[in-house]
Copies of this chain bind each other. A is one copy, B any other.
Amino acid sequence: MATSTAAQKRAQAKVEYDAFLAQCPSRKLLDRIADKWVALVLAALRSNGSHQFGADCAGEPRSMRYSELSRLLAGVSQKMLTQTLRSLERDGLITRTVVPTVPVTVTYELTGLGLSLHQMMRGLKDWAETHMDDVLANRATYDNRVA
């Protein structure tokens, strides 16, 4: 039943392309850091209590408690914080250590890998801060032209 050749070839190409994407490391990385809170957690663990996204980074990575992170990233729900921390730990980007005090204390800290990732994110941040205004300006004029 070689009904359609062109359509079938497209479908074939699509499958192959999807397979290619599924194993592309860059894509995996994008999926990782695009999680809403990942970047924030990374930045927080690198900071010392300030809210600014990357305006600190002076000194070595800090270890932080769950509740401390929760307060710092005020917008995060407890569920998402837990989920994000777990996934980061799973990927070896942070370490989780439990101290059995009376109310259990859990601290999180960046690993070397996490640190290097955050380093990379700073490059991203730099680009954002230097070019994002242009982007927004372009967007505004575009919208005006259309509207």
| A binding-site residues for B, Cβ under 8 Å | 10, 13-14, 16-18, 20-21, 24-30, 32-34, 39, 51, 53-54, 71, 73-75, 89-93, 113, 116-117, 120-121, 123-125, 127-129, 131-139, 142-143
Q: What CA separation (Å) do A39 and B53 show in the bound complex?
A: 23
Q: Give chain A's interface secondary structure class.
A: helix
The distance from the CB of A71 to the nearest CB of chain B, in whole angstroms, is 8
Q: How many copies does the complex hold?
A: 2
Contact of A51 among B17, B120, B132, B137 (CB under 8 A): B17
B17 touches A39 (CB 8 A): no
Q: What CA separation (Å) do A17 and B133 show in the bound complex?
A: 21
Q: What CA separation (Å) do A142 and B9 show in the bound complex?
A: 40
